[in-house]
Amino acid sequence: MVGPIPSKAEASGARSGSLEATDWAEAEQIAFRAFANCYSREIDGGRIVRGNPTGVSAIEWQLPSVGRIVRAGIAYRSLCGAHRFSDVQGVAEDGLGFRPIDRLTAIQWMITEAGRRTDGGAVDTLKSAELFMQVIASTRAVALNIARLTTPAVAHPSVPSFVETEQSVLGGHWLHPTPKSMDGIAGWQREVYGPETGRSFRLAAFAVRQDLVRESAAYGPLPSALAVAIAGETFARERLRDDEALLLMHPLQAQHLLLTPAVEAMGEDGLLRPLGESGPCFYATSSMRTVYAPHASHMLKFSLPVQITNSVRRNRIEEMKAGAAMAAWLSLTGRAGPREPLTILPDPAWITVTMPGFSESGFETIYRQTIGPDSHGDYPTMIAALVACAPRGGDSLLKRWIARLAGGAGHAELARTAAAWFEAYLAASLDPVVFFFDRTGIALEAHQQNALLKSHRGWPSGLLYRDNQGFYLSRERRGEITADFPEAIGIDGLFFDEAEIVGRMSYYLLVNQVFAVVACLGEDGLMAEEQGLARLRARLEGLHSQTKSSGRHFCELVLDAPELVLKANLGLRLAAIDELATGHGAGVYTRIANPVAHIGIPNARLAS
């Protein structure tokens, strides 16, 4: 057996045991919020309806392809585009007689309209149906996550707060139309291996003839040696032959590989042997395919045969090489070491199995340096977990943090604490990424899942960045970069025109990460978004004066450009495009109004 299989009672209980109508209703609200905000940004911002002289009450979207109008009440209007909606109504195009409709019906109509607008007037019913199915699957996953809050958890040992926060994003984020969709995984498998369930599992071990193993390490032991340390010396000594290396795989990866003809043939020829489970229990982090064990020296990032949101999650050889090269460079230069505000978590080693006729075999695995506590015993916290909406009317983690810092004082002190926290957050998260880009010509995809906030007693103190796939090197500074970073010479796919880098960086660092914090503070009533955006603009103006190269170009764009780059997640799903199969993302971006440039301008068009 290559992975744990739950009992029938566990599996059936996890799937449907406590899923109530209220859980589904809340999941529908979350689903509509995510989809409607994507639709507003990428397809149609809609028509603002003012129900009274004091403010906006609803948004209406005309959907001529289905002969309908959808109207959604606005419970919270966000300058950053993270609106929260209340009731949803629909009506024929004459606009007479609005009636309540369920949110999934509204989404289905909007998918049809979006398909017609983005596909030259035609509607690809298959792609539209596939997207709607993903919406339903994502909604069901969110409903089960909510239900699990009151369902007794499967017993497991206590885990560090790092794991708890990694597994706490129950509804996904507001920048994706199907934030919890997965394809290629059974319900019982998701209950075991999904991050939100809190379950742990052991890894699957393989013995592979040494000459078929391809591995590399920027420093330290090779992955096959690290695997022995994780699985245990006794296990390796008793199970491995002299000419074999040990590889550890995710159980899903192992189950898939053992069913492929090439691996079956290798097994029949005695080149590869499954050894069953080994080593300690691991926990899924937020990405699901990167796993963590509290006492292991490394986390492991696997290739999984599962489409998670936009793509099947595979490790590519070139990406693994790039991660190891970056790890080697960081170890030599110390440009972003543990004592700096910015820490880049290295991916120093990787391993795979070579197969004739295949550039990649499916065994590709990255060994990432593990995350541990700092000198004060604090773990970094993923920003996506800080800003995630708490189901059942709870407070966001960010609001709970700030309330603790304010010490239970009144609203005025809470607002002052929130403002001070936000300034500390910008100093810890925005500044170091911009300065790093300015000094090195290397930009990071510092979105809310890749960015982990370091803190001391609740106050932001720095940023930990993870992701070997998320580096962009300035083509204009290639000579300077390769002189300092010779490992980059042979990795052409990392170099981009700086104008393109600056655009993408504005999405990942600002739209995805900082705007999410601004919107969360606003929705939680801690700091108005106008104030947050004004503070962000002032910070960028200060950074502009302190930078002189790539960082200054970034600041100039964000301060002055009427629009910012936006990742077109809805467009990707409408087109059924695997994002990672498009090279480095050509054609997957669009643009939205820039609220930083518009802040303070009366009647400015802000992010929809």
pLDDT (0 to 100) of residue 12: 35
588 domain-assigned? no
Q: What is the pTM of this model?
A: 0.92
Quick one: 408 and 440 in the same domain?
A: yes
Q: Is residue 577 part of a domain?
A: no
Q: Which domain holds residue 362?
A: 199-369
Q: Are residues 209 and 330 in the same domain?
A: yes
Question: Percent of the chain having pLDDT more than 90?
Answer: 72
Query: In total, how many domains does the chain have?
Result: 3
Instruction: Give the pLDDT of residue 156.
Output: 42
How many CB atoms lie under 10 A from the CB of residue 230?
25
pLDDT on residue 121: 61
Look at residue 125 and tell me if it is in a domain.
yes
Task: Please choose, from the candidates 586, 548, 462, 565, the residue with its C-alpha nearest in 3D space to the C-alpha of residue 509.
Answer: 565
- Domain stops at, among 339, 369, 399: 369
Residues 428 and 503 in one domain: yes
Residue 275: CB partners within 8 Å, gap ≥ 6? 204, 205, 206, 207, 239, 246
Whether residues 225 and 259 fall in one domain:
yes
What local confidence, expressed as pLDDT, does residue 16 receive? 43
Distance, in Å, from the CA atom of 202 to the CA atom of 282, rounded to the nearest integer, reads: 6
Domain end (from 112, 138, 164): 138
Per DSSP, helices labelled H in 377-497 are 383-387, 397-406, 411-425, 431-440, 478-484
For the residues of 475-543, what is the DSSP string, one character each?
Answer: GGGHHHHHHH-GGGGG-GGGEE-HHHHHHHHIIIIIIIIIHHHHHHHHHTTSS-HHHHHHHHHHHHHHH
- Tell me, yes or no, whether 173 lies in a domain: no
333 and 386, same domain (yes or no): no
Average pLDDT, the chain: 89
Characterize the bridge pairing of strands 58-63 and 471-474.
unpaired
Which residue did the predictor score with more confidence, 526 or 122? Answer: 526
Section 214-242 average pLDDT: 97
- The phi, psi pair for 35, rounded to 5°, reads -65, -45
My answer on whether 541 and 497 are in the same domain is: yes
The answer as to whether 480 is a domain residue is yes
The three-class DSSP label of residue 444 is: strand
Q: Are residues 442 and 539 in the same domain?
A: yes
Question: Which of 138, 163, 182 is at the close of a domain?
Answer: 138
409: CATH: 1.10.510.40
Average pLDDT over residues 125-135: 92
**What is the pLDDT confidence band of residue 269, given thresholds at 50, 70 and 90?**
very high
Tens digit of each residue's pLDDT (9 = 90 or more) over 39-93: 999 999 999 998 755 566 899 999 999 999 999 999 999 999 999 999 999 998 7
For the segment 503-523, the average pLDDT, to the nearest whole number, is 97
Q: Is 146 inside a domain boundary? A: no
515 and 442 assigned to the same domain: yes
pLDDT, tens digit, 9 for 90 and up, residues 464-500: 999 877 889 999 999 999 998 888 887 777 899 999 9
Single-letter amino acid, residue 363: F
Amino acid occupying residue 64: P
In a domain, 147, yes or no: no
- Co-location of 405 and 294 in the same domain: no
Contact 360, 305 (CB under 8 A): no
Q: Decide if 328 is inside a domain.
A: yes
Within 170-269, residue ranges assigned H as helices are: 187-193, 223-231, 233-239, 251-257, 261-268
Most confident of the following: 219-228, 333-342, 466-475: 219-228
pLDDT in tens, 551-608: 999 999 999 999 999 999 999 888 888 776 665 555 588 999 999 998 865 444 445 5
- Regarding whether 395 and 287 lie in a shared domain, the answer is no
Pair of tokens at residue 149: 């809050």
Looking at the structure, tell me whether residues 333 and 462 fall in a common domain.
Answer: no
Return the pLDDT at 364. 97
Give CA–CA dist 253/274, Å, rounded: 12
Quick: pLDDT tens for 150-167. Answer: 654 444 444 448 999 999
- Same domain membership, residue 71 and residue 110: yes
How far lies 311's CA from each of 42, 184, 278, 351, 576, in Å?
19, 11, 29, 22, 9
Cα dist from 470 to 119, 336, 585, whole Å: 30, 15, 12
